[in-house]
Amino acid sequence: MSATNSVKPALRVGLAGLGTVGGGTHAVLTRNANEIRRRAGRDVLITALADLDQDKAQAMAKAVAATGQPEPKVFADAMVMAADPNVDVVVELIGGYGFAKTLVQTAIANGKHVVTANKALLAVHGNELFGQAQDKGVSIGFEAAVAGGIPIIKALREGLTANRIEWVAGIINGTTNFILSEMRDKGLPFADVLAEAQRLGYAEADPTFDIEGVDAAHKITLMSSIAFGMPVKFDQAHIEGITKLQSQDIRYAEQLGYRIKLLGITKRRSNGVELRVHPTLIPEKRLIANVEGAMNAVLVKGDAVGHTLYYGKGAGSEPTASAVVADLVDLARGLDSPTADRVPHLAFQADQLNDLAVLPIAEIESGYYLRLRVADQPGVLADITRILADSGISIDAFIQREPAEGEDQTDVILLTHVCQERQMRLAISQIEQLNTVLAPATVLRVETFA
């Protein structure tokens, strides 16, 4: 027996920005309209479109009408659309901090819900925007802002709500993961692989936000806030990218049984929270170490559930649109619910957020990988290990390469057990003062996720 169709009024959607994700959102909403209605209990209809490219907007409006749905109204100015009484929710897919912020604020001021894929906007201005939405009794959905089609925001906010989250670690930037995968597979230097990534469309013409770790930092900032119930603190995150990573370090890591990934990491500590992005050695036996190409993965440790892993496409038209539409369905289900009954933006009730301290990078705890260029003479390794031991740092593994024929210097590679970064920095400063150490140390952090 089929279910009786709901008579609830439709959720009326205004799309602002009709690029890759906007086009995917239109495609998913129209193609899966019946499935969405069955899940949401009402129709979810695109009733308005806004884009500077009016030809594109008009063409999309005609495409919606061709499915039998009412033809959406087209706006040249998204701000006007955000005030339209025939729009219940504004989907912001424009990006950036400027116009997008004003658009979201305009929508909120007009009593509209907001769905956005704009991780940069929320990481930088989230506290302000979430507060404004709370005051107006509307919601901001942002599943699409982190890890594309992977429902990690919902998992942290709802699926794992019984847990005290201990840490979150993720490969959350597909561009850098593609580059590191290619460097490992082909042994090519960073610059060559970046050029190939740009040619294939994995990297932007200006890839700075990706390769310098900023994009990943935006995402881990949002996950940290949800995991630990704290305001967003992007400005306190420690951020390192992959531009200085050498192919030889990827090879040495492999010899030691590790792979190097750009990770966003946040950990609960007794005196605060770690919030950091950097290249990281991971044991190759861990599932997350085997995430290759442009794929994303997020590993979460909860006290009750243990380790959980979320894997999938972190970008792209329809994977990201999948997350946008999921937020729209959540809104449609709860459209008539009081504000107090909705899932809080950052998982915890707004008056229960804790202003936890973000620890300086010198206070984080990690294992370490050291590559040292040293003179090939007796006693060098003994001097280095003595300094580490005196600093309270124990060695887990090491490689001492035979020098090439005719050379009088070589590489020493060390892995340490977990210690505080401040200890490691002091030890390295002493090691670099040795006459037998010929260049600044290459230092990478190690996470075993044991």
Mean pLDDT per 10-residue run, the chain (450 residues)?
A: 63 96 95 96 97 96 93 97 97 95 98 97 98 96 95 97 98 96 92 91 90 97 98 98 95 96 97 98 97 95 97 93 96 86 91 96 97 94 96 94 84 97 97 96 95
Same domain as 201, residue 130: no
Instruction: Flag whether 360 is in a domain.
Output: no
Catalytic annotation present for 219: yes
Planar angle of CA 41, 8, 12, nearest 5 degrees: 85
Only one residue has tokens 């459209």, namely 335
Instruction: Flag whether 116 is in a domain.
Output: yes
Same domain as 56, residue 113: yes
Q: What is the pLDDT of residue 221?
A: 98
Q: What residues contact residue 35 under an 8 Å CB cut-off, 6+ apart? A: none
What are the two backbone dihedrals, phi and then psi, of residue 122, each rounded to the nearest 5 degrees?
-75, -35
Range of the domain at 104: 11-149+318-352
Strands 258-269 and 272-283: antiparallel
Q: What is the reported pTM? A: 0.95
Instruction: Flag whether 156 is in a domain.
Output: yes
Q: What is the 3-state secondary structure (H, E, C) of the chain?
A: CCCCCCCCCCEEEEEECCCHHHHHHHHHHHHCHHHHHHHHCCCEEEEEEECCCHHHHHHHHHHHHCCCCCCCEEECCHHHHCCCCCCCEEEECCCCCCHHHHHHHHHHHCCCEEEECCHHHHHHHHHHHHHHHHHHCCCEECHHHCCCCCCHHHHHHHHCCCCCEEEEEEECCHHHHHHHHHHHHHCCCHHHHHHHHHHHCCCCCCCHHHHCCHHHHHHHHHHHHHHHCCCCCHHHCEECCCCCCCHHHHHHHHHCCEEEEEEEEEEEECCEEEEEEEEEEEECCCHHHHCCCCEEEEEEEECCCEEEEEEEECCCHHHHHHHHHHHHHHHHHCCCCCHHHCCCCCCCCHHHCCCCCECCHHHCEEEEEEEEEEECCCCHHHHHHHHHHHCCCCEEEEEECCCCCCCCEEEEEEEECCEEHHHHHHHHHHHCCCCCECCCCEEEEECCCC
Instruction: Flag whether 3 is in a domain.
Output: no
Same domain as 285, residue 206: yes
Same domain as 304, residue 164: yes
Instruction: Flag whether 359 is in a domain.
Output: no
Any idea what the CATH number is for the domain that residue 158 is in?
3.30.360.10
Same domain as 386, residue 294: no
Strands 89-92 and 140-141: unpaired
Same domain as 277, residue 261: yes
Same domain as 265, residue 167: yes
Q: What is the pLDDT of residue 202?
A: 85
Which of the following is catalytic: 101, 219, 301, 313? 219
| Whole-angstrom distance, CA of residue 170 vs CA of residue 278 | 11
Any idea what the CATH number is for the domain that residue 23 is in?
3.40.50.720
Q: What is the pLDDT of residue 308?
A: 97
| Whole-angstrom distance, CA of residue 264 vs CA of residue 238 | 10
Of residues 38, 66, 54, 55, the one with CA closest to residue 46: 66
Q: What residues contact residue 31 under an 8 Å CB cut-off, 6+ apart? A: none
Residue pair 447/367 in contact (Cβ under 8 Å)? The answer is yes
Same domain as 264, residue 344: no
Same domain as 201, residue 96: no
Any idea what the CATH number is for the domain that residue 415 is in?
3.30.70.260
Instruction: Flag whether 292 is in a domain.
Output: yes
Same domain as 374, residue 302: no
Q: How far is CA 409 from CA 51, 402, 428, in A?
A: 61, 9, 19
Same domain as 142, residue 262: no
| Whole-angstrom distance, CA of residue 82 vs CA of residue 105 | 9
| Whole-angstrom distance, CA of residue 403 vs CA of residue 94 | 54
Count of domains in the chain?
Answer: 3
Same domain as 176, residue 110: no
Instruction: Flag whether 357 is in a domain.
Output: no
Instruction: Flag whether 1 is in a domain.
Output: no
| Whole-angstrom distance, CA of residue 18 vs CA of residue 48 | 11
